[in-house]
């Protein structure tokens, strides 16, 4: 029986249609479609499949030239569905059939923003977790009650089916795929070229009600947050943090959440997990060293949070994404370059 190629070895195909969402489509092109010789010979092959005859127009008066028709989906390893032309707009049955066939043979399906309605119409999200732009979450729930919708996250990875929230969250899910296929070093290199954060956790909130604190609050909270980020191995009480910020504990809790979108404990846990992942990816430090450097106190505590938040153990995470050779020991967060 012939060996089936891994999805990452097959072409990445982005859908195009009349009424295409320009920004979401451009994300797929930017991540997978540009020649990047510095990324090595195994970088992605990319094509654009028009699902209907042209001319195809994208938002902003852009005309799209495609590489072929829907038949390109039959050979794809990964299919990117940009934002669909409307939550209530019907999805062609031929497209649904081809997407189901692609999924059945092992292709990965990725939606950005309202592209989730295409995967839902094809029946590929029934019983699965999925997300979309918060603006479309209720419409998706009404139309497809069999989907377990997570409206407040950046993206959801269900293995062969990935869904992401609005606009820029498409960059996050595409970089996540690069990370899965080529490892953290390549994903980080690409992120530097794109001038974006190398990794945002999929479960991060889509938006913060007040992302920018007032000037007075920012002057006090900004330096404090940087100190917290640089001293992850330290334990500090809410009272001590509030005193450092020159606020009462009650005011500090309210304003910290308004500025960051999370309570101090939740924010600190997310930062510790992010630093632990970096250490597991880039060093061969012992797990107890990583746990101490990140402020978890013990390997058991770090393992608990990894399983709860990331769905795997630190050892398994290192096996999948870690550095191949021994390097320098873990350093406290304050020593990061």
pLDDT of residue 219: 59
Count of helix runs (H) and strand runs (E) in the chain: 13, 10
pLDDT of residue 213: 44
Q: Which tokens is 242 given?
A: 């509030």
Position 120 pLDDT exceeds 90: yes
Side-chain-side CA neighbours of residue 226 (13 Å): 5
CATH T-level assignment (fold) for domain 211-337 = Arc Repressor Mutant, subunit A (1.10.10)
Yes or no: say if 109 and 160 are a contact pair by the CB < 8 Å rule: yes
Least confident span in 3-7, 134-138, 308-312, 321-325 = 321-325
Yes or no: say if 276 and 296 are a contact pair by the CB < 8 Å rule: yes
Dist CA 217 CA 207 (whole Å)? 19
CA distances 150 to 121, 128, 164, 202, Å, are 18, 10, 10, 11
pLDDT digit string, tens, across residues 33-75: 999 998 988 999 999 999 999 889 999 999 999 999 999 999 9
Confidence of residue 216 (pLDDT cuts 50, 70, 90): very low
Predicted TM-score (pTM) above 0.85: no
Q: Which tokens is 4 given?
A: 């089936």
What are the structural domain ranges in the chain?
Answer: 7-194, 211-337
pLDDT of residue 185: 81
Place of tokens 């996540």: 176
> What mean pLDDT, rounded, does the chain reach?
86
pLDDT of residue 2: 47
Least confident span in 148-162, 200-214, 230-244, 295-309 = 200-214
CATH 3.30.70.1400 assigned to domain 7-194? The reply is no
């Amino acid at each position: 029986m012939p060996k089936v190629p891994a999805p990452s070895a097959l072409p990445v195909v982005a859908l195009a249609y009349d009424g295409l969402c320009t920004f979401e489509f451009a994300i797929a092109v930017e991540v997978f479609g540009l020649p990047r010789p510095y990324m090595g010979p195994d970088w992605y092959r990319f094509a654009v499949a028009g699902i209907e005859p042209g001319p195809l127009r994208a938002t902003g008066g852009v005309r799209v030239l495609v590489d072929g028709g829907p038949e390109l989906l039959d050979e794809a390893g990964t299919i990117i569905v940009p934002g669909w032309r409307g939550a209530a707009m019907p999805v062609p049955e031929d497209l649904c059939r081809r997407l189901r066939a692609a999924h059945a043979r092992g292709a990965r399906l990725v939606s950005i923003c309202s592209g989730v309605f295409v995967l839902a119409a094809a029946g590929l999200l029934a019983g699965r977790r999925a997300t979309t732009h918060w603006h479309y979450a209720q419409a998706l729930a009404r139309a497809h009650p069999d989907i377990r919708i997570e409206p407040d996250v950046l993206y959801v990875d269900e293995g062969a089916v990935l869904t992401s929230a609005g606009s820029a969250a498409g960059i996050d899910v595409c970089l996540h795929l690069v990370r899965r296929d080529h490892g953290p070093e390549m994903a980080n290199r690409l992120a530097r070229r794109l001038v974006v954060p190398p990794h945002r956790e999929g479960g991060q909130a889509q938006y913060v009600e007040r992302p920018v604190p007032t000037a007075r609050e920012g002057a006090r909270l900004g330096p404090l947050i940087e100190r917290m980020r640089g001293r992850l191995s330290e334990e500090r009480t809410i009272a001590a943090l509030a005193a450092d910020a020159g606020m009462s504990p009650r005011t500090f809790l309210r304003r910290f959440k308004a500025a960051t979108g999370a309570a101090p404990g939740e924010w600190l846990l997310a930062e510790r997990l992010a630093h632990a992942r970096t250490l597991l990816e880039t060093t061969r430090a012992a797990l107890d060293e990583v746990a101490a450097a990140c402020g978890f106190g013990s390997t058991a505590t770090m393992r608990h949070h990894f399983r709860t938040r990331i769905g795997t153990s630190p050892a398994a995470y290192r096996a999948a994404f870690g550095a191949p050779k021994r390097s320098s020991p873990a350093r406290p967060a304050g020593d990061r370059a």
